[in-house]
Structure formats: C-alpha cells, structure tokens
Amino acid sequence: MPKHIVVAGGVMSGVGKGVTTASIGKILQEHGYRVTAIKIDPYINYDAGTLRPTEHGEVWVTDDGGEIDQDLGTYERFLNLDIPKRNNITTGQVYKTVIDKERQGEYLGQTVQFIPHIPDEIKKRIKEASNEHDFVLIEVGGTIGDYENIPFLFAIKSLERDVGKQNLAYVLVTYLPIPSHIEEMKTKPTQQAIRLLSESGIFPDFIICRAKKPLDVVRKKKIETYANIISEHVISEPDIETVYQIPLDLEKERLGEKILKEFGMKSKKQPNWQKWKQLVDNILKPKKTVKIAIVGKYIDIGDYNLADSYISINQALMHAGASFNVGVEINWLDSKMFEDNKRSLNELKSYDGIVVPGGFGASGVEGKINAISYARINKIPYLGLCYGLQLAVIEFARNVCGLKDAHTTEVNPKTASPVIDVQPAQREILEKNMYGGTMRLGAYAAALKDKSQVLKLYQETGRLKEDEKRIDELMKDKTQAFRLGILEKGKKTVLERHRHRYEVNPKFVGILEKKGLVFSGYYERFDKTRLMEYIELEKHPFFVGTQAHPEFKSRLGNPSPLFYGFVKACGR
C-alpha cells in the first residue's frame, strides 16, 4: 500500500504549492523511497491543451502525449521522472468518464449522482496512478474554499477511509503576509484556511508556511494553538532565489524525517544533498554568465506571464548552465522588431546565443527568419525548437538553396516551395476543426545520424543510454509502441516529446541536404515515411534545430543534451 501525501493550498493561489509538492517528493527520494506525484486540476477543460498559455503558463507535454498543466513539469524537473498523463486529473475528465459510462449502460438501473459516482471515479484514478510507488503525492489545485475543490476534497476524505489514516497525511501550504504598514507577519489568513479545510473533515498534519521571511517561534506557537498540531510540524518556507533551494530549506527543518515518522517509517538511506547543493550554488553564484536572446512572438502580455509561458525553456537553459557552472541571462526579444527595421538585427551581436522557441501562426515569422539568418551568417550559436527548426529550414531554403518563396503552408498555403507542410492525417483534422489533443503529441523516437553533433551530445550527456532503456519500457504498451514508429536494430535512437502539426516536407530533403543542411535524425513512420527530427550545420559553432521540444525532458542534474550543447557553445 503506497503512503499518500495530500497537498492543499490555503489563503491564495500562486504561493508555490507545485514546487513545494515536488520538493517533498525530492526529499523522500533522497531518503531512499520511490515517489510519484498527481496533480488535480479542478477546471472543466478536459486537459490543458486548449487553455491560454499566457494565463495558465505553458502547456506541458508528457511522454504518452498528454497536454497538461505545468505543475507536472515541475515534478519531472525535481524528481527526474517521466510522469504519465493519467497523473493529471481534471474535473472535465472525471465527469466525461462518468457520463460516457452512463451512456454505455455501465450503471444500468442506477441513478447516477454526484455521490458516490464522482468521488468514486476520482479515487479510481488516484489509485491507478499510485501503483508501485512507496509514496504518492496528490496536489489539489486551486485554493481551499473554492467551490470547484469540494468534489476532490470529498473524494480524498473517502480515500482516507479506504486506505486508513495511517497511510495518508495532509499538508497545507499557506501564505503569511507581512503588510508593509505594520511590518508584522500575520497568521490570520492561515487560521482561516485551516478552518475552511476542516469543513471538509480534513485536519492538516503539516503546515508549510510560505512567507517573505522564516517564521519565528511566536508565529509557530500561534499556529500550533489554532491548528492543534505540534509546532514541530509547522514548517517555514521563506522566499528564495531559485526554487531548487526549497528541498534544502525544508530539510533544514528536518521535514523528511518528520514525514517518515508520521507514517512510522525511517530513512532507507542517508540523504546526500551534496550534488544538488552544488547545482543550486552554481545557479546562485555562477563562475560566468552567458547572455541569451529568445526571439519569439510576445504580444499583449506583461513580463511576468511571459516568463511563465516559456518556463520549460527557461529551466532547460538554467539546468544546462548549472551543469558546468555557467549562469544564463535570458532576454526576451520580440521578433517583430526584426521585421521592418533590419538594422536592429545588429542588436543580436551582443548575445552569446539565440533561441527561436515553438510557436504558431504568421505573426512575427519574418522577424524570426531574419534573426536565424543573422545567427547562421554571423556564427552565433543557435538553437531552434520546433517552429525554430521549421523556420531555420525555410531560411536555409530561401537564402542558401535559392528557393525564394520557400515557406510553411501554415503561413502561406499557396507557396510554390512548401518546405514545411502538414501531414495528410493532420490536414483532415484541421478541416474538421478538431483542435483538442489532435497534434502530433508526446514522445517519438528518432534514429540519429552517425558522427553527427546531435548524436555526440546525446552520448556525452548519457541520454542515449537512458532513452534506449526507456524505449524498451514504452514498447511494452501497444499504443506507445505504435507511436515510437519503426525502430531499426543497431540504430542509435532517442526520445523527445512533440507538439506540432507541420513537418519538413520529405520532397525537399534532398535539395536541402545537397546544399549542406545536415539532417541528423529522423523518425520512421509505419508507412516508411521519414520525418526529419533534427538539423545541424557544419562549420558553425552551434547551429542545431529539432522538431521536438527537448525542454520537456530537462531536469536539474540531468540536462537536455541540446541545451547542454547550446549553452556550452555560448560560453566558449
């Protein structure tokens, strides 16, 4: 029976429940336990694929093709795990399943009601995701007191009865404000969150207190009295510079030991934080810093949301830098500024590297192409992610192969040189306006070209070996095996996650190759069509693009090979 740790948030959203949950997981891993994490999202969207990224942060893609809220990404980055899409439970999924079952006659003769059918479906999903782990963390999205949370809290209370209280603990993450006019840390909102939680019959076993500063003894005692839990279980989580510091801070309060004790357990191994601490130190005080420009389409959004909608790229650059003690300073440049006024391209001279991230549609595309051209000609390290690969192919086709009107049919459906085109299966989907969960999603295998720079990076970082193991695992599941495509024995094959509809048009591969564009990896579909997954240029310090989103597989201590190669090249 796995032990369950339910994490709920009080007072307000955005206090860092996701990173706290991930940090607890990391701590338990460090004490020798197998951990997984589940995120409950109380919205009615079936998944996060159709949410607005500038409001909800970027869409996270799992190996098995789920489009999920970014909290699952936080878990993966901390826990160095591939977490499947079933670990994200939304209200939409729960209700859809119950209604579908009702239509299929599974409840024939019964009145289908909120209780017991909805909590039962929630519990079933939690149990399925918990299998084979020592600990399962369950983060309840939203804030205690939200109406939308109620079905989930009800289900969890019922789960507590099923598994026994000895197998389930509650953690409440709250926020303690320090109003500037009184300069005193206030516990009242936390007291109220505790009371609200108790309305669902839930009493926290631990309270993690987010605040600007660590809590003093007086505050801890106050919460102890109000929540009726020992002040030892009131844990401080003050503001920090990097989220990766949180497990270290929580361990200063011996949280791991305390949680284990709550379950009557002991550490399986002596935690060793040395490597993690070194990486955190590298992030905080790097030996040197590189300056990177991310050239994208940024419209109508403030700085805060901007960073959030590219969080994985941000993190992947940081992980890569931390692995060799280089800091990354990220600058967001609106590609539109490179459209009309070509002179501003010279601004790119001051950067050590340029990234063109994923994107959709026509806006700002010519500016991105101009920036890529500048990086190619001026030998500035370049990393193209998904759209960033597609636009690099267009740039090369136009300026090196002389196909002046080369384009993607996403932007110009009538171009005579459609170097980037949609796959026939995707065309049908687009014609039917079926937008939810219909892109080429999830992990696809790519066979890498011998002696390519891309292959070298996957070898150097150890990812090639890791992915070969992961492919064996995924092959056990039929639908996953189909996604992986044709795998040839002896070929060096890696896995990255995808989220796109358009591809390098196989008809143009020959022309591009002849002019020197190296396709360093391809995916082979069961109909034998080869889809190009990587490009690179020789005689350039670093010019690499991928059709995938390698940022989704970057973890602290296990950086993504392409980001590793890119940041390294930027630092030279």
CB 369 within 8 A of CB 345: no
CB of 79 to ligand GLN, least distance (A): 25
Nearer to ligand GLN, 98 or 386 (CB): 386
CB 313 within 8 A of CB 355: yes
Q: Which of 386, 395, 410, 498 is catalytic?
A: 386
The reply to whether 31 belongs to the active site is no
Nearer to ligand GLN, 463 or 500 (CB): 500
To 5 degrees, how large is the angle CA 141–CA 144–CA 150? 80
Residues that bind ligand GLN (CB under 6 A): 358-360, 386-387, 410, 499-502
Task: Give 431's contacts (C-beta < 8 A, 6+ positions apart).
Answer: none
CA dist 92 → 47, 66, 73, 96, 140 (Å):
8, 14, 21, 6, 15
CB of 165 to ligand GLN, least distance (A): 45
CB of 556 to ligand GLN, least distance (A): 24
Measured distance CA(484)–CA(443) in Å, rounded: 7
CA distance between the termini of the chain: 51
Closest residue to bound ligand GLN by CB: 358
Nearer to ligand GLN, 387 or 444 (CB): 387
Q: Which of 30, 76, 551, 570 is catalytic?
A: 551
CB of 63 to ligand GLN, least distance (A): 16
Nearer to ligand GLN, 377 or 425 (CB): 425
Measured distance CA(565)–CA(460) in Å, rounded: 10
168-203: burial string, b at 16+ Cβ within 10 Å, e else: bbbbbbbbbbeeeeeeebbbeebbbbbebbeebebe
Nearer to ligand GLN, 143 or 390 (CB): 390
Nearer to ligand GLN, 71 or 410 (CB): 410
Angular region, 557: left φ>0, alpha ψ -120 to 50, beta rest: left
Nearer to ligand GLN, 151 or 359 (CB): 359
CB 43 within 8 A of CB 37: no
Q: Which of 4, 117, 407, 549 is catalytic?
A: 549
CB of 3 to ligand GLN, least distance (A): 38
Q: For strands 135-140 and 3-9, give the pairing.
A: parallel
Coil, helix or strand at residue 262: helix
CB of 64 to ligand GLN, least distance (A): 18
The reply to whether 549 belongs to the active site is yes
Coil, helix or strand at residue 338: helix
Q: For strands 135-140 and 35-41, give the pairing.
A: parallel
CB of 501 to ligand GLN, least distance (A): 4
Measured distance CA(84)–CA(65) in Å, rounded: 8
Catalytic positions: 386, 549, 551
